[in-house]
Structure 1
Amino acid sequence: MTHAATTGAPAELYRWRWPALFVILAAEVMDLVDAMITTIAGPTILADLGGSSSLIQWLGAAYTMALAVGLITGGRLGDLYGRRRMFLVGAAGFTLGSLLCGLAFSPETLVAARVVQGLFGAVMLPQGLGLIKEMFPPKEMAAAMGAFGPVLGLSTVAGPVLAGWLVDADLFGTGWRMIFLINLPIGLLAIAGALRFLPESGSPHASRLDLTGMGLVTGASLLLIYPLVQGRELDWPAWTFASMAASIAVFLLLARHQSRKQRTGGDPLLVTTLFRKRAFSGGLITGLVFFTAMIGFSLVFGVYVQIGLGYDPLKAGLANLPNAVGTVLGFIVVNAAGLPRKAGRKLIHIGAIVMIAGVAGVGVTLGLAGVGVTPWQLAPALLVTGAGMSMIMAPFFDIVLAAVEPHESGSASGVLTGVQQLGAALGAAAIGTLFFGLLERGRSFTDTMEVTIWVTSGLIAVTFLAAFLLPLRARPEEEAAGH
């Protein structure tokens, strides 16, 4: 008997689930590559358009912050108006935003276009996880969710490599602009695939959008990220610290508002029952710290090898290639051995230890070789870093989302992906600010990079500790079998 027959759901919802998964992953790739691609292209864009060094941070933070504040709302839009429809709207808007980035003529217009990309990405991305929860039967769910780990890891580390090649190739005389224009054919293919393969679905429990909740989550995020990026250039006036403190108060107000709205029978932006689930609440904390460390390290590494070591964009991108290789090989090995299911949370702990060893190895290599360090010398440590990253991400999404009910999937997808992007924005803002701030105080590039590496290692150690908040395995029956 088919999954559709046993659940009473229409069979067409499951017929094209694997091609639909490919379409959803293609959208993920567009997002993840765009989140990381400016880590290598940033110095070239800065030289062409002008502006201050904070532009390099804003190229990443504007996109990820817009994505983060919009993702929770994007998930609810799918519940209200249909996930297929919202996926199409998001993909079309993301493609248009990419075109605007490619045509930007000033730092301000480029940052604004990155915000457009992020907002439409926030409409597109949550629909994928919600559709997967509906399309796949339980016995196939681990395989479907497991596909996100390799795509996430590979896209994150391959983005800088692709950026370096595109900038160096200068296709059709477009220079750095091609890193955004390449999204046009990919976006059109994603739209065509969605029209053909994605089923229409939504939540029967959704009623209307929580505009107050939208305003609170947007305000809280802006109050936190903006002063982190701009504070260094403004010499940290008092209002920057007041703004960050206010963001905590607004986040607490958001939690109170959402809880009260759900108690009184309203339709909150955040389904507060999600936060009573150990896997979900623990996953948010673990993911926030991990993605802050990962994205912050990638940004600083891309800037350092170009400005500090004098690598051209292609060489800088290729210097990051061992990270991508380690990630791919790591996913192949752990999935072939069935470790995400067998080891569960323990694999995240092992991955954190391996990743700390890799990042620390980069620091040791820089300390020994100095400014004459070559990509070959950095390769072993980056290979280990990528392998550790794959071990963390392989079981992560399946563990966090396993207990989410179908009517919670829109909110859960938006919140989880939003926290992932908020971590990316925090990484670009906080770790980027640390890096540029140390340089402005007269520290050498090598010393500055080493300090940043140790801070990153500390954040991964916090990820190790936060993972104890997760259940041992994704599903109770697996956890019981493991004892």
Structure 2
Amino acid sequence: MTALDSPAAITSATRNPLRWVVFAVVFAANIMDLLDATIVNIAGPAIHVDLGGGANTVQWLSAGYTLAFAVLLIAGARLGDILGRRPLFLVGSAGFTIFSAACALSPDIGVLIAFRALQGAFGALMIPQGFGLMREALDDKEFDKATAMFGPAMGLPMIAAPILAGALVDWDLWGTGWRLVFLINVPVGVVSFLLALRTLPRGASHSGMKLDVPGVWLIGLALVAIIYPLIEAQPEGWPFWTFALLAAGLVLLLVFLVWEKRRRSDALIEPSLLTNRNYLSGIAVALALFGAFGGLLLCVSLYGQLGEGWSPMHAGLTLMPMVIGMIAGMVGGTMAVARLGRHVLHIGLLVIAAGVATLALTVTGATSASSWDLLPGLFLVGAGAGASIGQLFQFILSSVSMREVGSASGVLEATQQLSTSLGVAILGTIFLSGFGEHLPTHALTVTAWACLAPIALAFALVFRLPMRARAESAAA
């Protein structure tokens, strides 16, 4: 019997009549985070017009948030183990809501990017506590149902955010313009915070544990050294320092992994996770998949607004076929996973690849492309993402014990945010490089073909996952 199956956990869950409210609070927190991580893909051009900034401003509005989130997320997960998950969630929720309002009041682009980073930092305290809090409140069967819902929860907001942002910017309610995309979080955050105060389990803290401060510095410096030059290199003309900084970041990342393997009692990442093949393989799949998906979303949005002159609402509605496709893919993936196992992920990735190829072929040689022209490719991308993302989280978390769940969820969330940041930086740089000297359709063509590389990598990595998500868990 694993820690996940302990009678104590089951007894605790049955005594909590508000346990599904706990799930709703955690779910709402993740929705707010993912909406904010992707909403500026549509609002970014309007923000750029209003507040100014350089050519890479839109990239930094997204990457500033996700980079701060990814850097601090693993530390946030460990702090939850040390100080208790409930207080860390409450502090993170309050800070996230406050800085959402601060973003809406930003007087210039530099202040907005700084507030976005602080918003991401408080999100990093809040989000990694979620799976642990649910594990304390729900019994095993309920927890399985809850984690099955989280796959779709991670994907749908990435699609819904651009549509919501476009509507809010175009409506310009009370003359707020783009600022409403940040204000929309405030009432949701306040309600979630009040419900969290009432329902979250108090759990236990482990004051004897210590935070691995050198590890926090190592992973933080590594990620900054990797992301920063990817965003700044294209406007600067790819000078030597960008390659040097990238190399330094990769070295620091390797040093961090070696450091963590040598730590035992206070490691940022549970040492057992670093030897868990199924978990690490799933993390690698997520890194490739979310990078491709998040980067492509940004580039399609930029193409519509900067290349075709679409309004934010038009650009957001252009992504509606992805929403419909994603819902269809989720339903199909859920129905087929028991029979097909990990092959559902393979099918989903193949459908994404077909959609990306369709998108590239549609705009190849064209001088312009309408929303209707992009519809078939976007629908296929959404359907494939729904089938794969909807099931991936089950495969990743199936072999994780209760002792590992805090660290495992922190690494998973950090991977998702980091991969999105990398996708925005790399694919955004490819798009903007082509956009400056060629037709917008050419820039989108090159970006779409480049997107196939991480999708192919994810397809190959799926072979390292167990055939059935529950098989490994049952054997643990």
TM-score using structure 1 length: 0.93
Distance 2:282 2:240 in 1: 33
Distance 1:4 1:274 in 2: 20
Partner of 1:302: 301
Partner of 1:271: 270
Partner amino acid, structure 2, of 1:352: L
- Bigger drift between 247-256 and 297-306 goes to 247-256
Q: 1:345 to 1:133 in 2, by over 3 A?
A: farther
Offset, 1:478: 8.3
Partner amino acid, structure 1, of 2:376: P
Partner of 1:450: 445
**Cα pair 1:344 1:395 within 8 Å, conserved:** no
- Bigger drift between 272-281 and 222-231 goes to 272-281
Give aligned-pair identity as a percent.
Answer: 41
Instruction: Answer yes or no: is 1:359 the counterpart of 2:356.
Output: yes
Offset, 1:476: 2.1
**Cα pair 1:473 1:479 within 8 Å, conserved:** no
User: Secondary structure in 2 aligned to 1:469?
Assistant: coil
Partner of 1:439: 435
Partner amino acid, structure 2, of 1:275: L
Distance 2:40 2:473 in 1: 41
Offset, 1:204: 4.7
Partner of 2:36: 34
Q: 1:96 to 1:478 in 2, by over 3 A?
A: closer
How do 1:54-453 residues align onto structure 2 when only pairs under 5 Å count? 54-202=56-204, 204=206, 207-262=209-264, 266-335=265-334, 337=335, 339-367=336-364, 370-371=367-368, 373-440=369-436, 442-453=437-448
Distance 1:422 1:62 in 2: 11
Partner of 1:463: 458
- Bigger drift between 253-262 and 318-327 goes to 253-262
Q: 1:355 to 1:64 in 2, by over 3 A?
A: same
The runs of 4+ residues in structure 1 deviating greater than 6 Å are 477-480
Q: Unpaired segments of 5 or more residues in structure 1?
A: none
**Cα pair 1:224 1:243 within 8 Å, conserved:** yes
User: Secondary structure in 2 aligned to 1:383?
Assistant: helix
Distance 1:395 1:382 in 2: 20
TM-score using structure 2 length: 0.95
Q: 1:203 to 1:8 in 2, by over 3 A?
A: farther
Partner of 1:473: 468
Q: 1:42 to 1:270 in 2, by over 3 A?
A: same
How many residues are aligned here? 471
Distance 1:121 1:390 in 2: 25
Offset, 1:29: 0.7
Offset, 1:154: 1.1
Distance 1:387 1:238 in 2: 41
**Cα pair 1:13 1:199 within 8 Å, conserved:** no
Q: Unpaired segments of 5 or more residues in structure 2?
A: none
> Which string of whole-angstrom CA distances, capped at 9 and with x for unpartnered residues, describes residues 84-106 of structure 1?
21111111100111111101111
> Which string of whole-angstrom CA distances, capped at 9 and with x for unpartnered residues, describes residues 186-205 of structure 1?
10011012112221224659
Q: 1:186 to 1:431 in 2, by over 3 A?
A: same
**Cα pair 1:71 1:417 within 8 Å, conserved:** yes
Partner amino acid, structure 2, of 1:378: L
Distance 2:462 2:204 in 1: 32
Q: 1:45 to 1:207 in 2, by over 3 A?
A: same
**Cα pair 2:170 2:313 within 8 Å, conserved:** yes
User: Secondary structure in 1 aligned to 2:236?
Assistant: coil
Q: 1:191 to 1:341 in 2, by over 3 A?
A: farther
Q: 1:119 to 1:209 in 2, by over 3 A?
A: same
Q: 1:205 to 1:354 in 2, by over 3 A?
A: farther
Offset, 1:370: 3.9
Q: 1:328 to 1:202 in 2, by over 3 A?
A: farther
Partner amino acid, structure 2, of 1:108: G
Q: 1:196 to 1:365 in 2, by over 3 A?
A: same
Distance 1:461 1:294 in 2: 13
Partner amino acid, structure 2, of 1:283: G
Offset, 1:340: 3.3
Distance 1:351 1:13 in 2: 39
**Cα pair 2:261 2:274 within 8 Å, conserved:** no
**Cα pair 1:57 1:432 within 8 Å, conserved:** yes
**Cα pair 1:278 1:471 within 8 Å, conserved:** no
> Which string of whole-angstrom CA distances, capped at 9 and with x for unpartnered residues, describes residues 99-142 of structure 1?
11101111110100100110001011011122223333333333
Partner amino acid, structure 1, of 2:427: I
**Cα pair 1:279 1:469 within 8 Å, conserved:** yes
**Cα pair 1:203 1:407 within 8 Å, conserved:** no
**Cα pair 1:4 1:14 within 8 Å, conserved:** no
User: Secondary structure in 2 aligned to 1:15?
Assistant: coil
Q: 1:119 to 1:380 in 2, by over 3 A?
A: same
